[in-house]
Chain A
């Protein structure tokens, strides 16, 4: 059996475009923070040089990221790849919103 914590650290970065109508509003930020908080790795979100902790609902909201905003997501840790995949799915699925 492999202990996840023994896996080597991964450092990955991706740029995603917010595509839901309301952007990173309160409920979307709460969903994103719930998603990121499920992982051990460090996660930061960067908008135009302003970086915040990707596990903080209120931090995410401070980005004021409207539809069309490009965010660079940086992940560091043994479960970084899985975290990045989950974040990408959530953003591309418009946080479960219709539009």
Chain B
């Protein structure tokens, strides 16, 4: 099973982790890293490495960052590895639910990240148009 690490600004990573477990139940191989304004990038890299060790059960890991170009994503970018680590940025609860619920069937981090990205796009919608098909 592919591991999941959420890394984001403020308390967002912890909150998203909590929200995923609220919906899907307790998750294995899933960690979070909150990035504060005064977080040290080197310390964050070490924390990320520890999380990767904990979450990688042999099928690799997806690093889920909140915003491309932000410190959480930049820290994650340093660990991009085509063989076993991919990064999905701009995450949302729908994208995380897709990744978490499909990782038992999809053993490749990149393929799984692609599904998460598609889900994030698909389920970002305006209620005013969604509730009126064809509008």
Contacts and interface: CB of A to CB of B under 8 A. Distances in A.
A71 interface: no
A62 interface: yes
B23 A30 contact: yes
Where chain A touches its partner, the secondary structure class is helix
Contacts of A14: none
B115 to A, nearest CB: 11
B130 A58 contact: no
A30 B96 CA distance: 13
Interface of B: 22-25, 94, 97-98, 101, 119, 122-123, 130-131, 133
Contact of B101 (A33, A49, A64): A33
A58 B24 contact: no
B123 to A, nearest CB: 5
**Among all A-B residue pairs, the 4 with the closest Cβ atoms:** A26-B23, A30-B23, A58-B94, A58-B123
A27 interface: yes
Contacts, number: 24
A64 B23 contact: no
Contacts of A62: 123, 130
Interface of A: 26-27, 30, 33, 49-50, 57-58, 62, 64
B131 A64 contact: yes
24 contacts: A26-B22, A26-B23, A27-B22, A27-B23, A30-B23, A30-B24, A30-B25, A30-B97, A30-B101, A33-B101, A49-B133, A50-B133, A57-B23, A57-B97, A57-B101, A58-B94, A58-B97, A58-B98, A58-B119, A58-B122, A58-B123, A62-B123, A62-B130, A64-B131
Contacts of B25: 30
Contacts of B119: 58
Contacts of B97: 30, 57-58
